[in-house]
Structure 1
């Protein structure tokens, strides 16, 4: 076999490996160091069974005080130019998450640290009010949930997403949300009112209908059944709903495309999209380790198919290709998705949200500065 077909070392021998009992309920297997780290951190048994005495990994919450809350982008292959991420890191633990490499900027592991060392963006609502009230601000749809899930478990206590949504509702500002969580139902009061004015829509990411596979891939996200139930209730309240069959993972969940679309349409989704598995930077090794651990008989074939869609590489970040891949297998996935979506009656175009109702937040009296 050539180098491209080689599989990673067994997880228990990988850099940053953490024993199974400590990482129970987590997605990745290791604390593999980020790309900026000069050192590799490993847990090593000293011969006295010391690793067995360590507690299970806990979720640690840190406070982040950003200078701004709206993130801008000029990527030509996505439909929005601004987004908000209430949290850094995500407790859902989705093993395939393309946002994991961002934790390397914090000197943390994109693996288990991404799931357990979370950053809450303090004052997000106040920052948003300030940015929306700027004289030069021109409203366009703000996307939330494109990087980490705004309705991950930590939101129950910190309610950053709720506070952000309240600001957007008061300002009559359009918002598009992507989530895997049923917690979005908590904010149905705001979303339903905004949807009446064409200001809100919600997309649910449904990776599989198999609860066992979901537990392996995305251990702390809502079960597929709960996502479909939430989808049905959101749609019944008049909020436009979409389904994202994302990511499509070769040899793992690719056979479910049609079934996911059918169940989502029955639950009220009228728009649909898909994304082929993306393995940027550290995600490549993290996902490969997971694949070898849970699907040893499929691992080599799955990774071979991934590379066939990325020009022989694990990932190709080229605009226009990074979401859907290239080559015969990627073409087949695209045609299957299109045919199923058309047959089921999904809309060919996306719902356009309104920007003409925008009312900038009123800024309170500003104290003059001397410097």
Structure 2
């Protein structure tokens, strides 16, 4: 890991990334793409120096509280977080200044902050976003090798359900010819239904590949799925969007299931839910 000076932490849309790079090793990670201009090895985590001080100043300058989103580029619960406690510090500031938060992860380490997220949700709004891509546990360990398994993430969602903290699942990406099966989708949807998720974010069934992550992805395909790289090249060439041949069938199953169980599934509806701030402080004062 290494530290780097930054002048700001929050993006214009109030997204918070405390780190750059990741050590979860997911074979499909878009954050490896050259367009993000990481000038260091992806696994050499860049920590934003004085991040919490900068973040606090930015919260203080906000005229009104809003939702803070985190996890778009780097998982906030990477392996270093238990020692660094930077994500913990950011959540404590969000709670202190009474903002809301939507925090995205693939790690059970978020359970450390369950009570804090519960406190935030009691005053404003806290949403736990968990990525689920692969129902098969052994396949999950190949696609997402250094992170909690899908079943462990499911069990984490169950604990947040019991705590009354709303959850959203990111169903992305689904890799053509690898996990784009009806069986895989039904398994993940069953988890979502049981955990009572508010919404499922799905951009379609497929994967995006561009310079940077494409090379890493193909290297992993050669390692774990001999011959699959050639199949991708044959079907998709150098396309950025690689859509599963099963897309239409899976999308119909996905949307029908979400409608049946009252789960938000349209992308615009899910984003609106994640970014809509809720103030529960007046309700609490009545009691």
Where in structure 2 are the equivalents of 1:1-371 lying within 5 Å?
A: 61-72=1-12, 81-101=13-33, 105-108=37-40, 113-115=41-43, 117-134=44-61, 137-255=63-181, 256-275=184-203, 276-304=206-234, 307=236, 313-316=238-241, 329-347=246-264, 349-350=269-270, 351=273, 353-354=276-277
> Could you list the per-position Cα deviations for residues 131-179 of structure 1 after superposition, in whole angstroms to 9, with x for gaps in the alignment?
1222x64543221011110011110110110001111111111111111
**Contact kept in structure 2, 1:121 and 1:160, CA below 8 Å:** no
In 2, the alpha carbon distance for the partners of 1:148 and 1:163 equals 16
Aligned residues: 271
In structure 2, the gaps of 5 or more residues are 282-287
**Contact kept in structure 2, 1:241 and 1:271, CA below 8 Å:** yes
In 2, the alpha carbon distance for the partners of 1:356 and 1:303 equals 50
> Could you list the per-position Cα deviations for residues 325-353 of structure 1 after superposition, in whole angstroms to 9, with x for gaps in the alignment?
77975444432321232234423544464
User: 1:270: how far off?
Assistant: 2.9
Q: TM-score, normalised by structure 1?
A: 0.67
In 2, the alpha carbon distance for the partners of 1:194 and 1:339 equals 33
Please provide the CA RMSD for this pair.
2.5
**Contact kept in structure 2, 1:172 and 1:199, CA below 8 Å:** no
Q: TM-score, normalised by structure 2?
A: 0.85
**Contact kept in structure 1, 2:18 and 2:86, CA below 8 Å:** yes
User: 1:198: how far off?
Assistant: 3.7
Q: Return the index of the structure with the highest Cα Rg.
A: 1
In 2, the alpha carbon distance for the partners of 1:101 and 1:120 equals 19
In structure 1, the gaps of 5 or more residues are 1-60, 73-80, 317-324, 359-371
In 2, the alpha carbon distance for the partners of 1:327 and 1:97 equals 17
Higher helix share: 2
